[in-house]
Amino acid sequence: MGLDRSMRMLQALRETDVTPVQADGAALPLKDCSVDAVTLFESLHLMAGLNACFAELTRVLRPDGLVMTMGVFKEDLRTILFHRDWIRT
């Protein structure tokens, strides 16, 4: 599944096997504990509320779920470090 607020971005998935879902990261249309992994690519800096995003990720991820992110801006680090229980080494 590919999730984005922008239908334009989701159109890039037309010729793939990925199911496009238009939604906001702070209101995911997914059941609690229903996701094994989430990949965030160049997106944290675009989210209006990182705390709401992390709350949603916590809600939809299974207890042993994994979040992978790329493209973290220094402004995002404070929120990520606040949620440091997410960080594994």
**What is residue 73's predicted lDDT score, i.e. its pLDDT?**
58
Question: What pLDDT sits at residue 89?
Answer: 41
The per-residue pLDDT for 5 is: 87
CB atoms within 10 A of CB 39: 11
- Tell me which residue range forms the domain holding 75: 27-86
How high is the mean pLDDT in each 10-residue block of the chain (89 residues)?
88 90 89 91 71 85 85 58 51
Domain-located, residue 50: yes
Instruction: Indicate whether 32 belongs to any domain.
Output: yes
Contacts of 14 (CB under 8 A, 6+ apart): 20
Instruction: Please count the structural domains in the chain.
Output: 1
Please, are residues 3 and 24 in contact by the beta-carbon 8 Å criterion? no
Residue 8, in any domain of the structure: no
Q: Is 53 exposed, middle or buried (0-12, 13-18, 19+ CB in 10 A)?
A: buried
Please indicate, yes or no, if residue 18 is contained in any of the structural domains: no
**Does residue 11 lie in a domain region?**
no
